């Protein structure tokens, strides 16, 4: 398949798929789409269990996109203190309290 910058303005990613293929799947091959869908469904289950067991408030029922951009992508730094790894989360972040509460919930479960 030619590279995007060499094509004109009429290029569309779904043009490489066979006709009749649903536009929301990433591959043109049915077996590849099945494998991709299995992976996506498998990855969703642990995230949902984490939400149910460890989160409260606005993240307990948040959509995956909200979780990705407001919870999982929180900037932090792993440092060592007394030979123990410590995760330092920026204080000014609006999600710091929810992340610390989730960590406390994980400590209670384990």
SS3 15: helix
Structural domain includes residue 28:
yes
10-47 per-position pLDDT tens digit: 545 555 556 665 567 788 888 998 999 899 888 888 88
Task: Let me know the angle formed at the C-alpha of 19 by 13 and 24, rounded to the nearest 5 degrees.
Answer: 50
As a whole number, mean pLDDT of residues 57-81 equals 89
Structural domain includes residue 10:
no
Tokens of 55: 């989160």
Q: Residue 98, Cβ neighbours under 10 Å: how many?
A: 21
Q: How confident is the model at residue 74 (pLDDT cuts 50, 70, 90)?
A: confident
Domain hosting 105: range is: 24-109
Structural domain includes residue 93:
yes
Averaged pLDDT score across all residues of the chain: 81
pLDDT for the residue 17: 55
Number of domains in the chain: 1
Structural domain includes residue 5:
no
Structural domain includes residue 89:
yes
Q: How confident is the model at residue 80 (pLDDT cuts 50, 70, 90)?
A: very high
Gap between the Cα atoms of 101 and 108, Å rounded: 11
pLDDT for the residue 28: 81
Q: Model pTM? A: 0.60
């Amino acid at each position: 398949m030619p590279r995007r910058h060499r094509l004109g303005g009429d290029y569309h990613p779904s043009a490489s798929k066979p006709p009749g293929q649903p536009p929301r799947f990433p591959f043109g091959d049915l077996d590849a789409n099945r494998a991709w869908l299995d992976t996506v469904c498998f990855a969703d289950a642990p995230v949902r269990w984490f939400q149910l067991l460890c989160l409260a408030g606005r993240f307990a029922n948040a959509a995956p996109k909200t979780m990705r951009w407001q919870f999982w992508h929180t900037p932090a730094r792993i440092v060592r203190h007394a030979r123990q790894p410590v995760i330092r989360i920026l204080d000014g972040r609006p999600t710091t309290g929810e992340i610390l509460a989730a960590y406390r919930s994980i400590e209670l479960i384990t």
